[in-house]
Copies of this chain bind each other. A is one copy, B any other.
Amino acid sequence: MDKYYIDFDFERPLYIQISKHIKCLIEKNDIKEGEKLPSIRKLSSFLDVNKDTIIKAYNKLQTEGFAVQKIGSGTYAKKRDINLKFKNEYSKMFKNLSPDLLKDYIDFTGETACSTYFPVKIFKKVLNEVLDKYGAEAFVYKEGLGFEGLRKSISYCFWDEKLDKDDILIVSGAQQGIDIASKALINVNDNIIVERPTYIGALSVFRWRRANIFEVEIKNDGIDINALEEILKKNRIKCFYTMSYFQNPTGFSYSLEKKIKILELAQKYDFYIIEDDYLSELIYDDKIEYCSFKSLDTNDRVIYIKSFSKIFLPGIRLGYLVSPKKFKENMQKSKINTDISTSSLMQRALDLYINKGLWDEHVNFLNKIYYDKYTYMIKMINHNIKDYVEFYEPGGGFNIYFKILNDDFDSVKLFYECRRRKVLITPGVLFYKNSSDGNKFFRLGFSQLDDNKIEEGIKIIADILKC
């Protein structure tokens, strides 16, 4: 109890001093993550202040994310992120680098297909066909789930009609899908599980929902099932967020066995799986077969999210979400609350594009392009930085994830050194709940770069890691 003692400055609000003091204790680890704070009664008598002052202080801690309240039990400490400063700087850097300035950099941070390969002429034709055919109608939305034609095409072309068109909800990209699913599914302080490491954008949504996040380490065939089951035995889990293919950032894909096992556990422990089907179109390794959680799901346990933006083009802002029947209505309400509806012109254009067989054609074309780029990337890595890092060959997607072997380097230091030499990488600290877990890791995305830039960039990184 002694650590809670405060030498009050009576000129300033006491509750702020108390909450500051406790924040400080949490940050110095004098109060551990999940440690119970003293009861209001106890602390108020110990500090000789009014009960209301303690209540105010605990409320402030909760608002700022340093504490959680559990009904009938008390208030518990919650840790905040130590790399917050770096994270803010990292995100600001991209805001401040204008497209012109960015051109001077070799940018390994890209996560989406390169605009060079976008079939702009063909898409323009398709857009005009839609405008000629539908006129102003093309700009009107009438269907809450999204344009019916597109939903039919998705079911027909991507799911062999095994999905009902009315189970599909059109969304403005995968990020919105994750946001909508969270709103419909997750309440404050609900327990959820993510892979360690995981996608920053998802982590961020779950944090904004104020969920309690558990991490389970991902291996090259999927997450550690034993660790998962340990968590499930002890906690009531609402959902598990996963990227089934070429996981971002690791590039790992799930084995069939693990997918089946996780689906069984979902049924047994009554949780749901949010499957972010990230880049499964780009498979370079013949041994990898495509089979989503959703397609294996017999108990309606999977919320399936697919983006068209990542592979097509980010500015298209299109994707879809398939929900278990149980949440369907809630998902639709959540979508309406979020932005009412997705651009109807784009929906119609994509529909026509898919129906003409152009989507498949484009995906085949991209597979060839990116297969070559991937092969070259792996070659450059092997030639130049193999001795300084451990890495995994994902066999698909856009990213390679590295572990730094050199003891003197952490990923934030590497980031700054690289940036000084006009190379941009993504340090691992961004992908973990406790960012220090990512100190030795970094991600390189090759989708935006040509072979020369890849070679040049990798050589600069090698040069830095060598020191």
Q: Given A120-B131, A314-B341, A346-B343, are A73 and B55 also a contact pair (CB < 8 Å)?
A: yes
A459 to B84, CA, bound (A): 63
CB pair B314–A339 under 8 Å, yes or no, is: no
A98 to B166, CA, bound (A): 13
- Cβ contacts under 8 Å, A332 to chain B: 95
Cβ of A416 within 8 Å of any chain B Cβ, yes or no, is no
CB pair B340–A173 under 8 Å, yes or no, is: yes
Partner of A72 from the list B58, B143, B334, B339 (CB cut-off 8 Å) is B58
Q: Mark A36-69, 1 if CB is under 8 A from B, else 0.
A: 0000100000000001101100110011000001
Q: A140-B313, A208-B334 are in contact. List 14 more A-B contacts (CB 8 A).
A: A55-B72, A95-B145, A98-B142, A102-B142, A118-B139, A120-B131, A124-B131, A139-B315, A139-B316, A173-B340, A204-B333, A314-B341, A314-B344, A317-B340
Cβ of A279 within 8 Å of any chain B Cβ, yes or no, is no
CB pair B131–A338 under 8 Å, yes or no, is: no
- Some 12 contacts from A to B, beta carbons below 8 A apart, are A51-B72, A62-B71, A71-B75, A99-B142, A115-B139, A115-B140, A120-B138, A172-B172, A175-B338, A205-B337, A317-B343, A338-B338
| Nearest CB in chain B: distance from A227 CB, A | 27
CB pair A72–B315 under 8 Å, yes or no, is: no
A173 to B210, CA, bound (A): 26
- Cβ contacts under 8 Å, A183 to chain B: 208
Within 8 A of B (CB), among A339-354: 339-346
**Which 7 pairs between the two chains have the least Cβ-Cβ distance?**
A315-B344, A139-B315, A55-B72, A176-B339, A139-B313, A118-B136, A115-B136
- Cβ contacts under 8 Å, A58 to chain B: 71-72
Cβ of A128 within 8 Å of any chain B Cβ, yes or no, is yes
| Nearest CB in chain B: distance from A404 CB, A | 28
Cβ of A22 within 8 Å of any chain B Cβ, yes or no, is no
